[in-house]
Amino acid sequence: MATFDDGLDEFGWQMKRRVPPGRPVRASLEENLTPMIRLVLRRGLGPDPLVKFVEQRAQIGCDQPDLARPLAQELSARWTRGTDPVPMRETVVGP
């Protein structure tokens, strides 16, 4: 039986697949999710897993545009946990 988390993670997987190669995944997810979350906050419209996620954290139907960015950051962090490359020192060869 599928759970809410399964649906949300499936939605996240679909969103990650849409990120163009070479673009930072987390930043791209935040950029794409923020307007979607604003719409959910204002009207309650959007993909079911996203609407349920927002309903658990905010009151739908109220204009709370400042809340969209932190919620997008929370989801982006969840979906990219352990997948974004870790910055490393540059290797220099030669004198």
Q: What angle do CA 15, 21, 22 make, to 5 degrees?
A: 120
Residue 86 belongs to some domain of the structure: no
* 85 occurs within a structural domain: no
- The pLDDT value given to residue 65: 74
The pTM of this model reads 0.78
Report helix angle 65-80 to 4-17, nearest 10: 90
Q: What's the structural domain count of the chain?
A: 1
- Name the pLDDT band for 69 (thresholds 50, 70, 90): very high
In a domain, 44, yes or no: yes
Say what the pLDDT of residue 60 is: 81
The answer to the question of residue 93 being in a domain is no
Confidence of residue 73 (pLDDT cuts 50, 70, 90): very high
* Tokens found for residue 43: 């009207």
Contacts of 44 (CB under 8 A, 6+ apart): 51, 60, 61
pLDDT value of residue 61? 78
Does the pLDDT at position 27 exceed 80?
Answer: yes
Which residue segment(s) compose the domain that 67 sits in?
8-16+24-79
Examine residue 84 and state whether it is found in any structural domain, yes or no.
no
